[in-house]
């Protein structure tokens, strides 16, 4: 059994296989100790194997809920303080093993070809066991990628290292019943939009609905942009 497990480690991480030859009891005891040590290491390494997140059912469900086309038309029809916004999130770079990557576009219904927000989300489970949606911006002129979600392989010409991470703007989520809820840190996400000093984002994600409340605040904590009454309610199409 121990030999089988250690052999699995060698295959996973391209270690050369080891063969032990014993000619006395002392060597056998040392070998047994080494086998236990390698078994422990193999358990740790397999746990850290980047393919593991793909087997995470909760993570997969979160990404499934996030993926698709949404709009806030119903909310806008009931309350004129909200606009009809279209939100699209589509998987990209599906051959990568660490978590999931989504290309995100948000656009007014009157300007679908000119999204006002384009992002890449990296959705994964971190080493603390938390569900994380990290946020990245696109390089140079993002509008050149507008409508990329319609392509068979969106953003194929880009790689993660060509993006810019919005450090502190990641959303930490947890599952509560049938809904995933999360937010950024209280003042961790820097922003200079319209005089803001920092931004906050709060989300609730279910099978057919995504609530997103993004707000910007100045250095004194006064809200300077974003919805005031509550978050935008996007319904999956």
Per-residue pLDDT of 160-215, as tens digits, reads: 999 999 999 999 999 999 999 999 999 999 999 999 999 999 999 999 999 999 99
- Nearest CA among 124, 210, 231 for reference residue 171: 124
Question: Which string of b and e fits 176-211 if b means at least 16 CB within 10 Å?
Answer: eeebbbbebeeeebebeeeebbbbbbbbbbeeeebb
Which pLDDT score is estimated for 95? 86
pLDDT of residue 204: 98
Higher pLDDT, 11 or 89: 89
Is pLDDT of 144 > 70?
yes
pLDDT (tens digit per residue) in 6-53: 444 333 334 344 333 334 455 454 444 444 444 444 444 334 444 455
CA distance 107 to 202: 19
Phi, psi of 180 (to 5 degrees): -100, 130
- Share above pLDDT 90 across residues of the chain, in percent, rounded to a whole number: 75
Structural domains of the chain sorted by starting position, each given as residue range(s) with its CATH number in brackets: 2-48 (no CATH), 54-236 (2.40.128.590)
What pTM does this model have? 0.77
Average pLDDT over residues 202-231: 97
Alpha-carbon torsion 116, 209, 93, 8, what sign? positive
Specify burial of residue 96 (Cβ count, 10 A radius: 0-12, 13-18, 19+).
middle
> CA 50 → CA 93, 132, 201, distances in Å?
15, 15, 28
């Amino acid at each position: 059994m121990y030999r089988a497990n250690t052999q699995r480690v060698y295959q996973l991480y391209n270690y050369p296989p080891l063969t032990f030859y014993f000619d006395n009891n002392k060597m056998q005891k040392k070998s047994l100790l080494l086998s236990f040590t390698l078994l422990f290491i193999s358990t740790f390494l397999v746990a850290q194997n980047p393919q593991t997140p793909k087997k995470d059912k909760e993570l997969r469900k979160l990404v499934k809920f996030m993926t698709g086309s949404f709009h806030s038309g119903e909310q806008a029809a009931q309350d004129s303080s909200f606009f009809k916004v279209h939100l699209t999130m589509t998987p990209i770079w599906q051959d990568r093993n660490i978590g999931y990557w989504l290309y995100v576009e948000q656009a007014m219904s009157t300007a679908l070809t000119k999204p006002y927000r384009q992002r890449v989300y990296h959705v994964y489970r971190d080493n603390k066991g938390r569900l994380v949606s990290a946020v990245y911006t696109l390089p140079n002129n993002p509008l050149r990628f507008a409508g990329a979600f319609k392509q068979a392989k969106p953003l194929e010409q880009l790689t993660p290292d060509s993006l810019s991470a919005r450090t502190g703007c990641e959303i930490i989520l947890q599952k509560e019943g049938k809904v995933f809820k999360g937010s950024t840190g209280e003042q961790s996400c820097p922003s200079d939009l319209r005089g803001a000093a920092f931004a906050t984002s709060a989300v609730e994600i279910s099978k057919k609905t995504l609530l997103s409340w993004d707000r910007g605040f100045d250095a004194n904590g006064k809200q300077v942009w974003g919805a005031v009454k509550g978050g935008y309610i996007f319904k999956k199409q």
